[in-house]
Amino acid sequence: MKTAIVNIGHLFTGDLDAPSRPADTVLTDGGVITRVGTASTAEVEACDVVIDAAGATLAPGLIDSHVHITFGDYTPRQRTVGFLESYLHGGVTTSISASEVHTPGRPADREGVKALALAAHSCFRDYRPGGMRVHAGSIILEPTLAVEDLGEMAGKGIWLAKAGFGAFATPYDYAPLVAAAREAGMITTMHTGAASIPGSSGIWADHVIKVNPHVSFHVNGGPVAMPDADFTRIVRESAVALQICTAGNLRTALLVARLAQEAGALDRLLIATDTPTGSGIMPLGMLYTISHLCSLGGFDPAVAFAAATGNNARVYRLRSGVIEEGRDADLLVIDACEGGAMQDAVSALANGDVTAVGAVVTAGIPRFVGRSRNTPPPIRKIRVERSNVIDDFGRSGH
- 301 and 350 Cβ atoms separated by less than 8 Å: yes
Pseudo-torsion of CA 202, 206, 210, 213, nearest 10°?
60
Looking at residue 392, what is its pLDDT? 73
Domain residue spans of the chain:
2-60+322-387, 62-283
Mean per-residue pLDDT, 145-169: 96
Helix (H, G, I), strand (E, B) or coil at 110: helix
- 396 and 373 Cβ atoms separated by less than 8 Å: yes
Flag whether pLDDT at 64 surpasses 60. yes
Mean per-residue pLDDT, 189-209: 82
The DSSP bridge pattern shows strands 10-11 and 57-60 to be: parallel
Half-sphere exposure of 25 (CA within 13 A, CB side): 17
What's this model's pTM, rounded to 2 decimal places? 0.96
Q: Distance (Å, rounded) from C-alpha 302 to C-alpha 283?
A: 21
Q: Distance (Å, rounded) from C-alpha 184 to C-alpha 177?
A: 10
The DSSP bridge pattern shows strands 92-97 and 49-52 to be: unpaired
- 126 and 164 Cβ atoms separated by less than 8 Å: no
Question: DSSP H helical segments within the chain, as ranges?
Answer: 41-45, 83-88, 110-123, 147-155, 175-183, 205-211, 228-237, 250-262, 285-295, 301-308, 310-316, 345-350
How would residue 394 be classed by pLDDT, with cut points 50, 70 and 90?
confident
The CATH number fitting domain 62-283, selected from 3.30.460.80, 3.20.20.140, 3.30.9.10, 3.40.50.12710: 3.20.20.140
Q: Distance (Å, rounded) from C-alpha 53 to C-alpha 361?
A: 12
Looking at residue 222, what is its pLDDT? 85
Amino acid code (one letter) for 98: A
Q: What is the CATH number of domain 2-60+322-387?
A: 2.30.40.10
How would residue 397 be classed by pLDDT, with cut points 50, 70 and 90?
low
How would residue 316 be classed by pLDDT, with cut points 50, 70 and 90?
very high
Q: Distance (Å, rounded) from C-alpha 311 to C-alpha 184?
A: 22
How would residue 10 be classed by pLDDT, with cut points 50, 70 and 90?
very high
